[in-house]
Amino acid sequence: MFRIQCTQCQMILAKPLKCAKCKSVWYCSKECQKKNWSTHKLRCHEVERSSGALKFIRMFVLNPMIMGLLKVGVVIDCGLLDNPRIGFDVPFGVRVDIAIEPSNILDFVGLYFDNKSPREKLQGMVQVNAMTPWELTADRRSKWREARARHDAHGFAKDPVGLVDFVDINCTENSGNTSIIELHFPPFILNTAKAREPVVGVSAVTGAEIRKPMNAMTCLEILNLHIRADKDNQLHLRTEMTDQDKEVIRAAGRNEDTYLVRILKEKIQREHLYASMAQLTH
């Protein structure tokens, strides 16, 4: 189930109200929007991508391969195989940070090293920069219990259930608008994680086969490669990059100490595609 919550009070929204300027945060009322303005105004910019992140999160969630890789990564990262109570009588959740990155790796390199050659208009694509288990607040624990009850009622009482919060570059480390998804883990996902068979992918640059041990970060790497390989945009996860998108990459090249920079640099360090570039930054 796909849910959006109010940026200010975290109420689940049936009909979200968007910020009219940036269209990237959602509220339940004008009152909550006013209360949140002192925080949001620092990151509110004229909209460049009218559809916002919501459209891409929906398409992401609808893709079975992408969500399968994400779920296997969550099973490993959150310890579902180590503690059989997690997802049944122990609530759990995970934060997934998404960003828009150039579909051409050379454009990424140009932005990172602040090369003036990248074109003004760059095609971008959704990428997952981080996945982090996090402790659920009282409100989210209540939402998890509702999700658990729904899955029990639909015949999935033997399968674990969790929550994932998708966040984009308009969020900080501890705040911002999120889209909440209920995660159901069927037996084949648990068995895949348990088997720990090596994960096989294909380099988006050389076309060579990449074989890596199964772990949570490898699942994210193969997921990101799958999106990168979709040159015809059949996944509907490509869009023109905004100045905000580009600035995150430039800030990483300048070694700025922000949450968005830290998670991007960690992605560069762990993913095969950026291996040569990571060496240049040392």
Higher pLDDT, 113 or 277: 113
Q: Give the pLDDT score at 118.
A: 60
Long-range contacts at 255-262 (CB < 8 A, ≥ 24 apart): 259/172, 259/173, 260/97, 260/99, 260/129, 260/169
- Give the Cα-Cα-Cα angle 198, 68, 165 (nearest 5 degrees): 120
| Distance between CA atoms of residues 209 and 145, nearest Å | 42
Which of 143, 135, 220 is closest to 174 using CA atoms?
135
| Distance between CA atoms of residues 84 and 73, nearest Å | 17
Q: Give the pLDDT score at 50.
A: 39
Q: Give the pLDDT score at 228.
A: 92
**Residue 49 confidence class, pLDDT cut points 50, 70, 90:** very low
Which of 181, 183, 185 is closest to 166 using CA atoms?
181
Which whole number is the average pLDDT over 29-47? Answer: 75
**pLDDT tens-digit profile of 140-164?**
899 999 999 999 999 999 999 999 9
Q: Give the pLDDT score at 28.
A: 84
